[in-house]
Amino acid sequence: MIQFQEVTKIYPNGVHALKNINLQISSGEFILMIGESGAGKSTLNKLITREEKLTSGELFVNGIKVSTIKEKRIPQLRRSIGMVFQDFRLLSKMTVYENVAFAQETIGVPINLIRDNVFHALKMVGLESKVNAFPKELSGGEQQRVAIARAIVNRPKLIIADEPTGNLDSKTAWEIMKVFEDINKLGTTILMTTHNKEFVEHTTKRVILIENGSILRDHQRKVRTS
């Protein structure tokens, strides 16, 4: 699914964002990636989506060698990845239905298929009753569910969720985590960056700690019993 082999990223200003990263994420895993701001989490995600080029090493994502990918194949790579952000990034003048459908329209899905795909995605996140609502009419948790529906409507192999619960209260954050868990159970790989300590302490996820551009820890969490 994802394989980093001795990957280093050095920015033009000399900052070593990532240093000799070796990491393998298998299909169907659910990863929590943690670390302080500036540790290298966002850079790692941007290398996966080819928003940034690595400086050295090799990177494979969904069977594509991203380290040497040609520009014309980048859209193909990105179609296999769904993105969810902390700030939702919904289009305010579009309804819930239109926001999710837009992700299908941009890749040329036939109109006769879009409706079924959109309703399927909205049902998965529990928002099929909100199809005609606008983002401003929704709670923060509901807006994030729309964003998740948009990310999964094209049925990607991988979802990168960048602090998806950062703007939500604890109860709503756990509800959103449950949505991601349900998606993961269907076989979609989830890579979630988070500062939510409750997630890390109370869920049985693989946790990767990045510090100063290096992987400091990579282990499977166990649920606390006390």
CA dihedral 109, 115, 116, 121 (to 10 degrees): 90
pLDDT digits (tens, 9 = 90+) for 116-175: 999 999 999 999 999 999 999 999 999 999 999 999 999 999 999 999 999 999 999 999
**How would you class 109 by CB atoms within 10 Å of its CB: exposed for 0-12, middle for 13-18, buried for 19 or more?**
middle
Mean pLDDT of the chain: 94
What are the boundaries of each domain within the chain?
Answer: 90-155
pLDDT band at 224 (very low <50, low <70, confident <90, very high): low
pLDDT digits (tens, 9 = 90+) for 9-50: 999 999 999 999 999 999 999 999 999 999 999 999 999 999
Structure-token pair, residue 206 = 């693989």
Structure-token pair, residue 170 = 């604890």
pLDDT above 70 for 225: no
| Number of neighbouring beta carbons within 10 Å of residue 69 | 16
Give the mean model confidence (pLDDT) for residues 61-78.
94
What's the whole-model pTM score? 0.93
Nearest to residue 136, comparing CAs of 100, 170, 93? 93
